[in-house]
């Protein structure tokens, strides 16, 4: 594919907000710019091209974008004398050219399906010498982003999208409106990509989709996620993770594949959102409290040593104290080892945003605090279970805990800080899998010492 020569030698900086899909998209943006002869820099002040990859799932992501992007107005002029600011991702898809009402400095706006067009849009912006470029964010017929070049943040890990979009239309969620309907990649293309990654030295992949459990439905008429797990496991990859999973589509066949494919890590993020049947119905989650807990029971019976994490929303419109108590009791019964907890944030354009609610913020905040306390207690208990044991850790880099410490994640996705052996440099362990004796188990991390040789 021809790339515009006007970008050769331009410096660039990419800032990512939001989910793993956005992280993957940012790696593709970096790969595209590298291919155009651009040079990555670590400081936005030095960049000729600044790209913000955005998320609109929660309101705070909007505010962070507006703050950081607006700050570019007063940023020093780069050595080249001209800076182009591009806004991509979900907020760009949602707001289109209206985004300039909040961020006048934006020169380029490109949506979730328009990654491939970015080099040409940037070249046009430079050619216009500072004049705004009007861009339609909804570009149909684009290839999967996996067809584009990539600049991975880590040599040993790769994001592998297996599908885009979502068909569920939960009443609080903006994703189907900005990512579109479900569309799966062919199984052959996913497996071939994983084979290439293994050959390139990648040890861990994370399979991505808004609802991976329904993978394949758009191609084959029914989900084929369990088969995909088995085929990816046969590529020789050492670790497989996946996200996100909707409980309504997680089949017993997938549970068997999780148990039987050695490379699949014993960790599952299974968003529940609420423990109240009344609220779940209002959220359009398509399962009940009883069905969710029954699924958790089958998972624990089928997958040895499984660690479960989840998402929980507090303060959904109309949530009562009884509804919240149902959520709190479900969190206890499911015994989650960790949870992402959020206060409900209305997203314009979603059905839930139209539901009136007069619950005082102080009441919602108090409930949130109780939930956070319960989650922290369970996280601590889950980590205490590994105290004085040995966990397998993929080392990712230097730790902020000290110059002689590196950090990585266990098979159960726990954060683990590892003291470096004497005369061992941190760089020597990055990308290695280490057995770590757990000497200390805190609420949000483990800490330990190396056992045996890294591999």
pLDDT in tens, 79-91: 888 899 999 888 8
Least confident interval from 15-29, 135-149, 162-176, 202-216: 135-149
Rounded to an integer, the average pLDDT of 109-138 is: 73
SS3 annotation, the chain? CCCCHHHCCCEEEEEECCCHHHHHHHHHHHHHHHHCCCEECCCHHHCCEEEEEECCCCHHHHHHHHHHHHHHHHCCCCCCCCCEEEEEEHHHHHHHHHHHHCCCCCCEEECCCCHHHHHHHHHHHHHCCCCCCCCCCCCCCCCCHHHCCCCCCCCCEEEEECEECCCCCCCCCCHHHHHCCCEECCHHHHHHHHHHHHHCCCCEEEEECCCHHHCCHHHHCCCCHHHHHHHHHCCCCCEEEEECECHHHCCHHHHHHHHHCCCECCEEEECCECCCHHHHHHHCCCCCHHHHHHHHHHHHHHCCCCEEEEEEEECCCCCCHHHHHHHHHHHHHHCCCEEEEEECCCCCCCHHHHCCCCCCHHHHHHHHHHHHHHHHHHHHHHHHCCCCCEEEEEEEEECCCCCCEEEEEECCCCEEEEECCCCCCHHHHCCCEEEEEEEEECCCCEEEEEECCCC
- Distance between CA atoms of 282 and 170, rounded to whole angstroms? 9
Rounded to an integer, the average pLDDT of 160-171 is: 93
55 has binding-site annotation: yes
Rounded to an integer, the average pLDDT of 212-231 is: 96
38 has binding-site annotation: no
φ and ψ at 107, to 5 degrees?
-95, -35
Chain segment 285-340, per-residue pLDDT in tens: 999 999 999 999 999 999 999 999 999 999 999 999 999 999 999 999 999 999 99
How would residue 145 be classed by pLDDT, with cut points 50, 70 and 90? low
Q: Is the pLDDT of residue 231 over 80?
A: yes
166 has binding-site annotation: yes
Q: State the pLDDT at residue 114.
A: 81
Q: Is the pLDDT of residue 141 over 80?
A: no
Chain segment 352-388, per-residue pLDDT in tens: 999 999 999 999 999 999 999 999 999 999 999 999 9
Chain segment 248-263, per-residue pLDDT in tens: 999 999 999 999 999 9
Q: State the pLDDT at residue 129.
A: 63
Q: State the pLDDT at residue 151.
A: 82
194 has binding-site annotation: no
On the 0-12 / 13-18 / 19+ scale of CB atoms within 10 A, 188 is exposed
- Distance between CA atoms of 325 and 315, rounded to whole angstroms? 12
Instruction: Supply the mean pLDDT for the chain.
Output: 91
Rounded to an integer, the average pLDDT of 169-186 is: 90
Rounded to an integer, the average pLDDT of 437-450 is: 97
Rounded to an integer, the average pLDDT of 94-109 is: 83
Chain segment 335-354, per-residue pLDDT in tens: 999 999 999 999 888 999 99
**CB within 8 A of 242, min separation 6: which ones?**
206, 207, 208, 209, 212, 229
The answer to whether the beta carbons of residues 228 and 207 sit under 8 Å apart is yes
434 has binding-site annotation: no
- Distance between CA atoms of 323 and 276, rounded to whole angstroms? 5
Q: Is the pLDDT of residue 10 over 90?
A: yes
Q: Is the pLDDT of residue 130 over 60?
A: no
pLDDT over 90 for what percent of the chain?
Answer: 69
Rounded to an integer, the average pLDDT of 229-250 is: 97
Q: Which residue has the higher pLDDT, 154 or 409?
A: 409
- Distance between CA atoms of 332 and 338, rounded to whole angstroms? 11
Q: Which residue has the higher pLDDT, 88 or 139?
A: 88
Q: State the pLDDT at residue 1.
A: 53
How would residue 144 be classed by pLDDT, with cut points 50, 70 and 90? low
Tokens of 79: 């050595």
Q: Give CA separation, 254 vs 204, 247, 329, 367, 412, in Å.
A: 19, 12, 27, 34, 18
Chain segment 204-216, per-residue pLDDT in tens: 999 999 999 999 9
Q: State the pLDDT at residue 139.
A: 45
Q: Is the pLDDT of residue 131 over 50?
A: no
Rounded to an integer, the average pLDDT of 267-278 is: 98
- Nearest to 109, CA basis, from 81, 131, 127, 88: 88
What the chain holds in terms of domains, given with CATH numbers, is 5-127 (3.40.50.2300), 145-384 (3.80.30.20), 390-451 (2.40.50.140)
Q: How far from chain centre, in Å, is Cα 440?
A: 28
Q: State the pLDDT at residue 137.
A: 46
Q: Which residue has the higher pLDDT, 431 or 93?
A: 431
Q: Is the pLDDT of residue 425 over 80?
A: no
């Amino acid at each position: 594919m021809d790339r515009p020569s006007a970008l050769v030698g331009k410096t660039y900086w990419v800032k990512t907000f939001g989910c793993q899909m956005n992280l993957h998209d940012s790696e593709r943006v970096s790969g595209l710019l590298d291919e155009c002869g651009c040079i990555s820099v670590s400081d936005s002040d030095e960049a000729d091209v600044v790209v913000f990859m955005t998320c609109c799932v929660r309101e705070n992501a909007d505010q962070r974008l507006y703050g950081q992007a607006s700050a570019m107005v007063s940023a020093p002029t780069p050595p080249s004398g001209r800076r182009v600011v591009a806004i991509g991702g979900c907020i760009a898809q949602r707001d289109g050219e209206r985004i300039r009402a909040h961020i006048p400095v934006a020169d380029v706006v490109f949506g979730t399906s328009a990654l491939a067009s970015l080099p040409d849009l940037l070249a046009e912006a430079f050619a216009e010498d500072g004049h705004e470029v009007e861009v339609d964010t909804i570009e149909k017929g684009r290839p999967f982003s996996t067809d584009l070049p990539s600049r991975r943040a880590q040599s040993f890990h790769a994001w592998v999208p297996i599908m885009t979009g979502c068909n569920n239309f939960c009443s609080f969620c903006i994703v189907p409106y900005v990512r579109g309907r479900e569309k799966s990649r062919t199984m052959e293309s996913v497996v071939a990509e994983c084979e290439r990654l293994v050959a390139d030295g990648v040890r861990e992949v994370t399979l991505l989709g808004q609802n991976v459990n329904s993978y394949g439905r758009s191609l084959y008429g029914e989900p084929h996620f369990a088969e995909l797990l088995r085929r990816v496991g046969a590529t020789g990859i050492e670790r497989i993770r996946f996200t996100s999973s909707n409980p309504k589509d997680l089949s017993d066949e997938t549970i068997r594949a999780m148990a039987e494919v050695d490379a699949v890590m014993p960790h599952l993020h299974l968003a529940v959102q609420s423990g109240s049947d009344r609220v779940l119905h209002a959220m359009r989650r398509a399962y009940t409290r009883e069905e969710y807990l029954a699924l958790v029971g089958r998972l624990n019976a089928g997958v040895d040593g499984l660690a479960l994490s989840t998402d929980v929303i507090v303060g959904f419109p109309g949530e009562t104290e009884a509804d919240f108590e149902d959520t709190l009791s479900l969190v206890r019964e499911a015994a989650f080892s960790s949870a992402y907890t959020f206060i409900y944030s209305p997203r314009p354009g979603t059905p839930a945003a139209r539901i009136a609610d007069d619950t005082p913020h102080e009441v919602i905040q108090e409930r949130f605090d109780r939930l956070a306390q319960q989650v922290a207690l369970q996280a601590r208990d889950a980590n205490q279970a590994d105290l004085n044991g040995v966990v397998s850790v993929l080392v990712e880099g230097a730790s902020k805990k000290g110059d002689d410490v590196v950090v990585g994640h266990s098979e159960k996705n726990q954060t683990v800080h590892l003291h470096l052996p004497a005369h061992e440099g941190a760089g020597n362990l990055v990308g290695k899998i280490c057995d770590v004796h757990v000497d200390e188990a805190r609420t949000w991390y483990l800490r330990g010492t190396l056992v045996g040789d890294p591999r």
